A = this chain, B = another copy of it.
Amino acid sequence: MRILLVGASGTLGRAVAAELGQRHEVIAAGRHSGSVQIDLTDVDSIRKGLQQAGELDAVISAAGKVSFAPLADFKPALYGDSLHTLGIADKLLGQVNLALAARDHLRDGGSITLTTGILSEQPIVAGTSASLVNGAVEAFARAAAIELPRGLRINVVSPNVLVEAMDSYAPFFRGFEPVTAARAALAFSRSVEGAQTGQVYKVF
């Protein structure tokens, strides 16, 4: 298979590339790195990146930014002025737009795999934006799965906090059981190399 991996230079992305690269051609994409430049908040870069990547059997996102801030810092505000804006523009609509562009580009029977995280189900303090975005992406994927044409599939991987991220994230994730990026990467393999659709693969 030919697989486009957005967020290939991140901790999770590197593990996904290591797992799938053993059996497939993985084309690395990122904002500032990789052989293809894709910024999830730039629709043109998504379209051009897919064109540049050529024929594809799978598109994976291991990318997506959100704002972490105490709920007290969130004020009622419209999109653009809200602390929710980054998460909605990047990890939410960015991944949705990647999926929609991939729908128009993938070979028949291809797959789309997006990334969320445990906060959709199990919240942490300062994580309301991450929770909101993760819940949205998971529900979108369940819904898109029943309408995708040409045998295309879509799934989500929702990992726990990563072992490799605990240096900086440990204080926010006390009592959470971190998983290695390599273990989370197996769920991407299950999505890409399996046959299910509309699934949320929880790695927790």
Interface residues of A (CB under 8 A from B): 41, 43, 46-47, 70-72, 74-79, 82, 84, 88-89, 92-93, 96-98, 100-101, 103, 119-121, 123-128, 130-140, 142-149, 198
Contacts and interface: CB of A to CB of B under 8 A. Distances in A.
Contacts of A131: 139-140, 142-143
A103 B103 CA distance: 40
Contacts of A119: 139, 143
Given A132-B96, A136-B139, A144 B71 contact: yes
Given A74-B100, A89-B79, A139 B132 contact: yes
B128 A132 contact: no
Most buried by B among A82, A131, A145: A131
B76 A43 contact: yes
A163 B101 CA distance: 37
Contacts of A79: 79, 88-89, 93
A146 B71 CA distance: 9
Contacts of A130: 143
Contact of A140 (B100, B101, B135): B135
A188 B41 CA distance: 37
Contacts of A138: 135
21 contacts: A41-B78, A43-B76, A71-B143, A71-B144, A72-B147, A76-B98, A77-B97, A78-B89, A79-B79, A79-B88, A82-B97, A120-B139, A123-B142, A123-B143, A123-B145, A125-B147, A131-B143, A132-B137, A132-B143, A135-B136, A135-B139
